[in-house]
């Protein structure tokens, strides 16, 4: 099995790329969706989140943690271990059933946490900063200031490019993004040469 990390910045188009890869036959794990699931009542992180924050409502949590880096760190410390465990279990099951398949894990802070090293290859979705802001405001119903605040808590896309094996530019048409995604999929489908240092 080939494992691929898929990351980007706020509203940079990584979910669109992830769904396109899934459509081409990849197994897609969306860490953000798992993050939502693990804080639902009865799930692994629910009790700890309720004790610490008093709510598991995603919007309420976002308004709390994005204004306070320490609270964000605390939330991540509660949620991320459960997400990693679910991800690991899903990948192991897929590998057992599809030993030559391609598994893609979409997550926002793969590079910041160092977990990008766990994958055979890394894809980065990028677009212009003004597009990130517009998309985030529209998608998340937040203000320009809130979008900028969230963006500035992440590593700049230019810096992330240094880590990526493939960069997909989502700033133009959807078809242009899909063309790039198909080219990356074709590359991933070929026998994989060793990376430097392997």
pLDDT for the residue 153: 81
pLDDT score at 194: 62
Per-residue pLDDT, 195: 60
H or E, element range at 2: strand 2-8
Dist CA 67 CA 95 (whole Å): 39
Predicted local distance difference test score (pLDDT) of residue 193: 66
Q: Token match 């240092």: residue? A: 197
Q: How confident is the model at residue 150, as a pLDDT?
A: 86
Mean pLDDT by 10 residues, the chain (198 residues): 96 96 98 96 97 94 88 94 96 96 95 93 96 94 90 89 97 97 96 62
Task: Mention every residue, 6+ apart, whose C-beta is less than 8 A from residue 135.
Answer: 11, 13, 127
Q: So what's the pLDDT on residue 197?
A: 52
Total-model pTM: 0.90
Q: Between helices 174-189 and 14-23, what is the axis angle to 10°?
A: 60
Spatial CB neighbours of 140, under 8 Å, sequence gap ≥ 6: 11, 62, 147
Tell me the angle at which helices 46-53 and 58-65 cross, rounded to the nearest 10 degrees. 50
Which residue pairs, CB below 8 angstroms and at least 24 apart, start in 22-28? 22/104, 24/181, 24/182, 24/185, 25/101, 25/102, 25/185, 26/101, 26/102, 26/103, 26/104, 26/185, 26/188, 27/90, 27/94, 27/98, 27/101, 27/102, 27/103, 27/104, 28/104, 28/106
- Mapping DSSP to helix (H, G, I), strand (E, B) and coil, where does residue 42 land? coil
**Superfamily holding 2-189:** P-loop containing nucleotide triphosphate hydrolases (3.40.50.300)
Can you give the pLDDT at residue 152? Answer: 84
């Amino acid at each position: 099995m080939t494992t691929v990390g898929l990351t980007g910045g706020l509203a940079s188009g990584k979910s669109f790329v992830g769904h396109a890869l899934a459509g081409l036959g990849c197994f897609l794990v969306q860490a953000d969706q798992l993050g939502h699931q693990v804080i639902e009542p009865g799930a692994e992180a629910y009790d700890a989140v309720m004790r610490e924050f008093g709510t598991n409502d995603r919007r309420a949590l976002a308004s709390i943690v994005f204004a306070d880096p320490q609270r964000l760190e605390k939330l991540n410390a509660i949620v991320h271990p459960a997400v990693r465990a679910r991800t690991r279990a899903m990948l192991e099951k897929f590998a057992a059933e599809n030993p030559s398949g391609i598994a893609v894990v979409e997550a926002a802070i793969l590079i910041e946490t160092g977990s990008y090293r766990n994958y055979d290859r890394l894809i980065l979705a990028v677009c212009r900063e003004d597009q990130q802001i517009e998309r985030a405001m529209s998608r998340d119903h937040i203000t320009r200031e809130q979008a900028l605040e969230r963006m500035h808590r992440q590593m700049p896309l230019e810096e992330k490019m240094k880590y990526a094996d493939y960069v997909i530019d989502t700033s133009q048409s959807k078809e242009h993004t899909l063309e790039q995604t198909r080219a990356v999929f074709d590359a991933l489908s070929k026998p994989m040469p060793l990376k430097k240092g392997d």
